[in-house]
């Protein structure tokens, strides 16, 4: 009668990955994104213990920021010649108190960032999570151009979208 309620085990089929990075400069907002469609992966929901995680690589050169100058600056800032790919791992997907959570690991510019209880949002055909990073977390300096006339804010907003 007082036993904990068991969560129903489910499998989610992931049909695409999308990563959006946005930030602000002294001239306005910038958006860069990466989408990979056509690869199918699965995530187990509410399965305790070790089970396969969802891992994918993001080639930094595949991000699109709207024009070649922004693309070049974005790649240079993320040191794409030294770190050509970012890695993302989603594991331990579970439901709790009506919410959806996971353990997210992001490896970017040689730094591994762990988000052990990241809350996700459910959409009609996707699940997504939002992070706020700053350049200090990545041991990077915010870029500036033209002798400091154009500066990038220290905050970067990342959104991960997994299509289901």
The answer to whether the beta carbons of residues 80 and 72 sit under 8 Å apart is no
Domains in the chain: ranges and CATH = 10-163 (2.40.128.110)
| 124-133 average pLDDT score | 96
Question: 122-133: b or e for each residue (b if 16 or more CB lie within 10 Å)?
Answer: eeeebbbbebeb
- Predicted confidence (pLDDT) at residue 147 exceeds the cutoff of 80: no
Per-residue pLDDT, 2: 46
């Amino acid at each position: 009668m007082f036993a904990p309620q068991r969560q129903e085990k489910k499998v989610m089929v992931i049909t695409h990955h999308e990563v959006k990075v946005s930030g602000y400069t002294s001239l306005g907002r910038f958006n860069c994104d990466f989408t990979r469609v056509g690869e199918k992966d699965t995530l187990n929901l509410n399965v305790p213990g070790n089970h396969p995680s969802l891992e994918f690589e993001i080639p930094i050169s595949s991000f699109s920021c709207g024009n070649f100058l922004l693309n070049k600056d974005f790649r240079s800032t993320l040191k794409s010649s030294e770190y050509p790919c970012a890695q993302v791992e989603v594991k331990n997907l579970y439901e709790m108190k009506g919410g959806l959570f996971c353990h997210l690991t992001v490896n970017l510019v040689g730094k591994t960032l762990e988000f052990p209880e990241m809350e996700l949002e459910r959409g009609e055909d996707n699940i997504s999570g939002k992070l706020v990073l700053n350049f200090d977390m990545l041991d990077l300096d915010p870029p500036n151009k033209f002798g400091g006339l154009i500066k990038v804010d220290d905050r970067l907003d990342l959104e991960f979208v997994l299509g289901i």
